[in-house]
Chain A
């Protein structure tokens, strides 16, 4: 329940932050990488650092992460198939061999079918997700955003202490 409330808080907070729609969309895209790909991998450390250091919506990142974790689980068979096809494609063998013999790169576990498949999928999915989210935020703010801001439950959510922590990372 607490997780759900925090998720709602993140969503509402992100939608009504002063951040631009592009910042929120970028945060969600970075979060989708965390959710779609297996978490404990080096590239996700880079994604997380980018989420923290870049001036994108951190709440959007958390939201993207939370939303895309179940999607990742559901699409694992697809990721496995994509990764398998890519890693065992004869035409790409030279590339993978070079990468696997390059320092640091093997730590990303790119040679795992699910990791590579999900990463490729997340990268391909990133641009459509970015533009769709940005458009959605713009439309939301232009239509029902102000009415939601004036509602009682919005004020209740924003008054909680957790919101203060969130404000540290807001764009």
Chain B
């Protein structure tokens, strides 16, 4: 009998304790470094921008974390403009590739459909087998012409021939319905060719890079690239807030920790009537700028209800900031399933950087301007407004357009304008919002551009349409003719067959009435 197996290995307790002590020692030595590195990584991941921490100290005994030298890079420097205005006045049509026109494949498809319909209808006409029916009826009619009223067999044959003609006419009627429906489809195919051609015109126009001369389009082209940036920034932080302050109580999956193995996803399970994982009930910040001057600038801010689980906390997060020429407020209401984020800010006295006005040979220095931002993101629907107002703008001519007549005209149009009033509105579904930009310069620039470029644009558009027509008509013309021919031919065949049947039936019935003298036989 073998001795009983000991379950525990007591002599391993000592080495295990030694290992524990070593782990504690390593923690004491390296915890700060590990925490600093992880905080940098997590911060970079959270903000989408490089986060650097000079030093970090964990004091578990007192629950303190000390961070020194925190640097967060701007997440927006690398952003590409969502809107890019095209270069004005450049016309090039050679890049129009016939393979990218939608009309030609549509015409080919319609031609194939027409051929198929023609074949189907011809088969249907052939399967009617009208020839024997008509020949038989003609022969019967001939016999009836020489028959007498007492020739009951011939009369009966005549009546049967009439019945056969009626059935043949029903088949022709059925075919006629088929042809009518088919021709309607072919007609709609022809209409589809017209709309495809309109799409091709639009596509070719986009290749031409023709400027729109409407005032709203001018506003979007000139100020759109700059106006979209504030929206990008606010949206970025709104999305960030939604990611880390998710609404409702559903499980939330985020990317797992970085490691050699696959990171997977960390799923958090919020629970009702429990404390949130993170809650900053209230925080205030105030500071003085230029304290030694006669009028020091005092700034203050207050943040309340910042939490990782808004549904558990039950109150929205609010932020208020104030200062000289500054008033800002934001409310992130993620308490319910559909989050509502609202923000508003007015900042005065900001000196904006001079910028080249897109597509126009000018540089604009807005000077000290007042900017306003209003933002509401309700679920996935956004309504936002951004405005810049300045009363002392300065214009500079771009040297590259020194001798350009367009440059002269636009310069004369706007150089005397000292006020700048730009308003951009973003609205609609978050995935496809509409951007509308309006400024007091739109009409001035648009009217001047229209005066100079209007004829050129019209000529270029005509040239573009002619080019598309030349490419498309070679295919569309024969197809259109083929479709019309098929329609006409099919209808003619049906009409012809029906006419022959009707004529024979009429003659048969007339002859039968003559023979019978109005007497109805059973």
Q: Residues of A at under 8 Å CB distance from B?
A: 20, 23, 38, 40, 49, 52-55, 72-73, 76-77, 79-80, 83-84, 87-88, 93, 96-98, 100-101, 109, 111-115, 117, 168-169, 171
Q: Indicate which residue in B8, B253, B261, B263 contacts A88 across the interface (CB closer than 8 Å).
A: B253
Interface string of B242-265 (1 = CB under 8 A from A): 000000000101001101011111
Q: Assuming A53-B16, A93-B251, is B262 touching A77 (CB within 8 A)?
A: yes
B8, A55: Cβ atoms closer than 8 Å? yes
Residues of B within 8 A of A169 (CB): 9, 12
Inter-chain contacts of B5 with A (CB < 8 A): 20, 23, 55
Per-position 1/0 for B5-37, Cβ under 8 A of A? 111110111011000000000000000000000
B residues near A73, Cβ cutoff 8 Å: 261
Q: Mark B285-296, 1 if CB is under 8 A from A, else 0.
A: 000000000000
A87 and B261 contact, CB distance less than 8 A: no
Among B68-76, B267-275, B410-418, B478-486, the stretch that binds chain A is B267-275
A-contact 0/1 string along B459-481, CB 8 Å cutoff: 00000000000000000000000
Q: Which 5 A-B pairs have the closest CB atoms?
A: A114-B264, A76-B262, A113-B264, A97-B269, A87-B267
Q: Does B266 have its Cβ within 8 Å of any Cβ on chain A?
A: yes
Interface contact B251-A112, CB-CB below 8 Å: no
Cβ distance A119 to chain B, nearest Cβ, rounded Å: 12
Closest to B274 in A: A101
Q: How far is the CB of A2 from chain B (nearest CB, A)?
A: 21
| Partner of A112 from B11, B256, B269 at Cβ < 8 Å | B256
A-chain residues with CB within 8 Å of residue B264 when the two chains form the complex: 76, 79-80, 83-84, 112-115, 117
Are B271 and A114 interface neighbours, CB within 8 A? no
Q: Do A114 and B263 have beta carbons less than 8 Å apart? A: yes
Q: Hey, which chain B residues are within 8 Å of A97, CB to CB?
A: 269-271
Least Cβ–Cβ distance between A74 and chain B, in angstroms? 11
In the bound assembly, the distance between CA atoms of A30 and B209 in angstroms comes to 69
* A–B Cβ pairs within 8 angstroms, 8 of them: A53-B16, A54-B8, A84-B264, A93-B269, A96-B267, A100-B271, A112-B265, A113-B266
In angstroms, Cα B266 to Cα A96, docked, is: 12
Interface string of B405-435 (1 = CB under 8 A from A): 0000000000000000000000000000000
By beta carbon, the residue of chain A nearest B262 is A76
Chain B residues closer than 8 Å to A53, beta-carbon distance? 8-9, 12-13, 16
Q: Would you call A80 and B271 a contact (CB within 8 A)?
A: no
B16 contacts across to A, CB distance below 8 A = 49, 52-53
How far is B263's CA from A115's CA once the two chains are assembled, in angstroms?
9
Which of B11, B16, B256 has the largest count of A CB atoms less than 10 A from its CB?
A: B256
Q: Which residues of B contact A101 (CB under 8 A)?
A: 269, 271, 274
In the assembled complex, the Cα of A100 lies from the Cα of B259 at a distance in Å of 22
